[in-house]
Structure 1
Amino acid sequence: MPPKDLFSLHGRRALITGSSRGIGLALARGLGEYGAEIVLNGRNRDALAQAQSQLKEAGITSSLSSFDATDQTAVLSAVETIEQNDGPIDILINNAGIQRRAPLEDFSREDWDALMATNLNAVFFVGQAVARHMIRRKRGKIVNICSVQSELARPGIAPYTAAKGAVKNLTKGMATDWAKYGLQINGLAPGYFETDMNAALVKDKDFTEWLCRRTPAARWGKVEELIGAAVFLSSDASSFVNGHILMVDGGITACL
């Protein structure tokens, strides 16, 4: 394959969970710019419609699939509908995620269950449902959104760290079981990025100063800076990359 075609996603369909805003929407735009047809997912159909309008303005073809990624029955039904009505899902990006912050000794069972349902269970539910079709076709790309917290902890978010650490090893497990069928399953691990989920931290002067001192790049990341890594892991350029966690973190995990 000529090098110029290695990163092309033309003729491929990408389902991106949690893609009505933030990192998910940025990755939808990025993969779409490289030729992929996008399936936007989230629970709020109005928000998805707004995201679809943004993509349309950029010349990117997309469809909507509004389902709750934490509901396995809904996931199975939605994936079957996409496969039958839209066509094969060639790329899955498991992006849906939430955050809850509290001292660990005070962390509620309700918040723990919500974190695990969205940040871990959904990765398994959607990953398994999509992989069953990919396995029959002997090809497919799954990119699980991990985190710098897949490797490092920070006060107040121990359950999030636990979930993202589990996603890292689930990614390795998926690769171990499914690589033999022609699938590539990898993780994309953002560091600290300016997103809606991190809005309070971005506005916190003390935290931002700490982050800039702690990160070799000395700044917050921009969501657009995740696109290159996502395209690489979704394209033929990564045909022999499996079970890898690609850190996009400004160097924060590289130093003390």
Structure 2
Amino acid sequence: MMKCILTVVSILIVMKVISLKGRAKRNLNTIKHKTAVITGASSGIGMAFAKYLAKRGFELTLVARSKKVLEELQEKLKEYKVSVSIFEADLSTNAGTNSLIEYVNKMEKPLGAFFNCAGITHKIPEALVDLPREENENIINLHVMQATHLAQAINVVFKKQKSGLFVQMASGLGIVTMPLLSVYAASKTYLITLMRAINEESRAFNARFIAACPFWVSTPMTMTKKTTSTFIQPETFVSDFFADSWKKTIVNPHSTHKLVEKMLMAMPEGMRMNKLYADMIGTRRGIIKKLNRMNQ
């Protein structure tokens, strides 16, 4: 009996894997042109997108502030025998954003997809009353002002060529709200709203806009390398992203993250905020301890 149950479970797992691979293939096939630009490509999710797409034959332009790191990634991607260009730009500045827009407008081949993974967060979780104004302005500038400029300019390209996919890295925190990360979470809520609106506006010329909304991913920005049931690796997020349904503008692809979102959003708002605040107090203590160890 137990052997029979294990056999059935094994078959179901194999069928699930096959189904996810099929969905990923279908999603990739919706990208008309196999060319992609990826910002924030020097680490974390941006780098994971670069590896995933290069392995599947996409020609890439990798964008980040660190030319050295981009060159190292470019060298690693040679094994996939695809064209990989690098573009050094600081997208927290108007000059950096404008230079990238100019680059995209002059690309010889049509643009299939644009992955905007450039992002920053608060150095230490703090209540808004204690957050440095400059830190807030930096987050709002990158996540709101510069991201809007990029989305608008890339959509002009998509409108001309009658196709295109724009993936904006947002966050599950932009869905549930997060005390002590208030400005970061609010900027992600803005991006989710922006993607929803632009996606509807762009249906007529076959352009697609998606807000990718994971919760916890192990990246330099989150200052962790650990992997748990909730803290996932960038590669896991990216593979889950392509294997998930793209029927909605918001894509929160990891199964555990989906469950967390449902549970939190089912709570009364006051209860949810109290829980998240208490959780972030503990997270803040852990981050301060880690920073103190690093500075010793």
TM-score if structure 2 supplies the norm length? 0.71
Please say if residues 241 and 252 of structure 2, whose CA atoms lie closer than 8 Å, have aligned partners that are also in contact. no
How many pairs are equivalent?
235
SS of the counterpart of 2:231?
coil
Paired residue for 2:147, among 123, 126, 150?
123
* Aligned mates of 1:115, 1:219 — CA distance in 2: 25
The residue type equivalent to 1:70 in the other structure is: S
1:59-110: CA deviations, max 9, x gaps? 4431111122233444333333244244222201111100113222111110
Pairing 1:182–2:187 present: no
Paired residue for 2:128, among 88, 104, 111?
104
Please say if residues 76 and 129 of structure 1, whose CA atoms lie closer than 8 Å, have aligned partners that are also in contact. no
- Tell me how far 1:144 sits from its aligned partner: 0.9
Change (3 A) 1:41 1:254: same
Change (3 A) 1:11 1:35: farther
- Tell me how far 1:122 sits from its aligned partner: 2.4
Match of 1:15 in 2: 37
Match of 2:177 in 1: 153
Pairing 1:47–2:69 present: yes
Q: Identity of counterpart residues, as a percentage?
A: 22
Paired residue for 1:228, among 233, 236, 239?
239
Pairing 1:163–2:163 present: no
Rg (Cα) greater in structure: 2
Please say if residues 10 and 35 of structure 1, whose CA atoms lie closer than 8 Å, have aligned partners that are also in contact. no
Question: Moved runs in structure 1, 4+ residues, more than 4 A?
Answer: 8-11
Match of 1:253 in 2: 261
Please say if residues 110 and 161 of structure 2, whose CA atoms lie closer than 8 Å, have aligned partners that are also in contact. no
* Aligned mates of 1:118, 1:112 — CA distance in 2: 10
* Aligned mates of 2:262, 2:134 — CA distance in 1: 34
SS of the counterpart of 2:190?
helix
SS of the counterpart of 1:70?
coil
Paired residue for 2:52, among 30, 53, 57?
30
Pairing 1:78–2:83 present: no
Change (3 A) 1:26 1:230: same
* Aligned mates of 1:79, 1:90 — CA distance in 2: 15
Deviates more, 1:70-79 or 1:115-124: 70-79
Q: Which protein has the bigger helix share?
A: 2
Pairing 1:95–2:100 present: no
SS of the counterpart of 1:255?
helix
Structure 2 alignment gaps of length 5 or more: 1-21, 265-296
1:201-223: CA deviations, max 9, x gaps? x67xxxx9xxx7xxxxx341121
TM-score if structure 1 supplies the norm length? 0.82
SS of the counterpart of 1:65?
strand
Structure 1 alignment gaps of length 5 or more: 213-217
Change (3 A) 1:232 1:135: farther
Please say if residues 142 and 185 of structure 1, whose CA atoms lie closer than 8 Å, have aligned partners that are also in contact. yes
* Aligned mates of 1:187, 1:125 — CA distance in 2: 16
